[in-house]
Chain A
Amino acid sequence: MSKKGVFGLAIYVIPSIILLALALIFFSFIFFTDFTQPKNIVVESFKDDTLLLNLLRTPIEVNGEKINIADFIARKELRSEDEFKQDWNLIKQKADLVFEHCYPSGGGTIAWKLLIYNMDEDINLPALEEYKYYHVLNCYCDTNIDKIQSVNVPLVSSNKFVKVVLVECLRGRKAAC
């Protein structure tokens, strides 16, 4: 074949190959994109703190006294450490009723913790005391935080406050609430 013939052939063959490759990419894009499936608008930006607020407002009965969970936490230092931990089980039972409904097995999980700070201290410093309560054990919440709700509860007997933190670990799963 002459030089001119090879050049002439290349002019058509190379663009044709490129064009076919492009057409293949274009149509495979359309083929693999499922346009028939309705797009769902996700509402993760919707901040709703009512779960934690209502949990803290939930009435409980401790030693015959009717109080809510926030009041129980606010009076933490009026009890000994052992008494507080013992009474905390009542709260845990109540909270678990809610969590079991909102985070059924196979769905997301939840953890909550109490962080105690001095009132005039920088909140970014490590907490004076920390209590962690997991609804489901082995929930690696620190690395899989999907949503955080927090409320500060001042302690009645000292110049401290408790930051109550609720952490949802959804890891792609859905919570019922």
Chain B
Amino acid sequence: MNKKADVEAEFIVWVFRIFVVGVIVVFIYVATYNYLSSRIDTTEFENSLLASKLLYSPSCLAYESDKPLPGIIDIKKFTKENLRDCYDKKDFGYVLTLKDLNNTKINSIEVLNEEQKMFFPICKGNQYYDCSTKEKYVLIKENEELKPTFLVVEVIKRV
């Protein structure tokens, strides 16, 4: 066999090797890039955390006699100042609404900054903000009486 044939055979082998390495490099790059740039949405999770803290912690809304009673809301604690002390996080705002069993609004508190107030009504589908809503069946302690109520927790979070 002559030298030319050897060079041609070697060339084909190298093309094949470069192609293999190229495919692997492109695959690793695309997979890594997609994985690193994928977004994890924690808004639902943070809403659950907030709702649990509100209902279970006596420093938030939980009524306390001898011990905290999770799920019962002390209406005296349902103030903006108390809620700011209870749960305040950067780029995270929330609105709490109390509704009776017939879905009539009793009271509502907004813990939002100016920007969040602006985006709150148009949160759905907005690329800069994520939002989530949860409802909890709670009892309100008011004048030694328990009133069946729904607590609606709406959160807005900057992405």
* Bound CA–CA A26/B27 (angstroms): 7
A23, A41, A53, A176: the one within 8 Å of B71 (CB): A53
Contact A55 B45 (CB under 8 A): no
Binds B, one of A71-79, A96-104, A127-135: A96-104
Contact B71 A50 (CB under 8 A): yes
Say yes or no: is B10 at the interface (Cβ < 8 Å to chain A). no
Contact B27 A58 (CB under 8 A): no
Contact B137 A98 (CB under 8 A): yes
Say yes or no: is B35 at the interface (Cβ < 8 Å to chain A). yes
Say yes or no: is A35 at the interface (Cβ < 8 Å to chain B). yes
Contact B35 A50 (CB under 8 A): no
Kindly identify, within residues 1 to 49 of chain B, every residue whose CB is under 8 Å from any CB belonging to chain A. 12, 16, 19-20, 23, 27, 30-31, 34-35, 37-42, 44-45, 48
Contact A57 B72 (CB under 8 A): yes
Interface string of B85-107 (1 = CB under 8 A from A): 00000000000000001010000
Chain B residues contacting A102 (CB-CB under 8 Å) are 135, 137
B20, B31, B48: the one within 8 Å of A43 (CB): B48
Contact B48 A54 (CB under 8 A): no
Contact A41 B41 (CB under 8 A): yes
* Bound CA–CA A55/B50 (angstroms): 21
Known: A50-B137, A177-B137. A40 touches B41 (CB 8 A): yes
Say yes or no: is A48 at the interface (Cβ < 8 Å to chain B). yes
Known: A26-B27, A50-B70, A97-B101. A38 touches B40 (CB 8 A): yes
**How many chain B residues have a CB neighbour from A under 8 Å?**
37
Interface string of A46-61 (1 = CB under 8 A from B): 1010110111011100
**How many chain A residues have a CB neighbour from B under 8 Å?**
36
Known: A41-B42, A43-B48, A50-B137. A30 touches B27 (CB 8 A): yes
B41, B42, B139: the one within 8 Å of A54 (CB): B139
A19, A26, A27, A55: the one within 8 Å of B137 (CB): A55
Which of B12, B51, B52, B139 has the most chain A CB atoms closer than 10 A to its own CB?
B139
Chain B residues contacting A23 (CB-CB under 8 Å) are 23, 27
Contact B52 A39 (CB under 8 A): no
Contact A12 B44 (CB under 8 A): no
Contact B41 A39 (CB under 8 A): yes
Chain A residues contacting B150 (CB-CB under 8 Å) are 101, 177
Closest residue of chain A to B146 (Cβ to Cβ) is A59
Say yes or no: is B138 at the interface (Cβ < 8 Å to chain A). yes
A53, A98, A177: the one within 8 Å of B101 (CB): A98
Q: Which 8 A-B pairs have the closest CB atoms?
A: A50-B71, A35-B34, A38-B41, A38-B39, A41-B45, A43-B48, A97-B101, A54-B71
Q: Taking beta carbons and an 8 Å cutoff, which residues of A are in contact with B?
A: 12, 15-16, 19, 22-23, 26-27, 30, 33, 35-36, 38-43, 46, 48, 50-51, 53-55, 57-59, 68, 94, 97-98, 101-102, 176-177
26 contacts between A and B (CB under 8 A): A12-B12, A15-B16, A19-B23, A22-B23, A23-B23, A26-B23, A27-B30, A30-B34, A35-B38, A36-B38, A38-B38, A38-B39, A41-B45, A46-B48, A48-B51, A50-B70, A50-B137, A50-B138, A57-B139, A58-B146, A59-B148, A97-B101, A98-B137, A101-B103, A102-B135, A177-B137
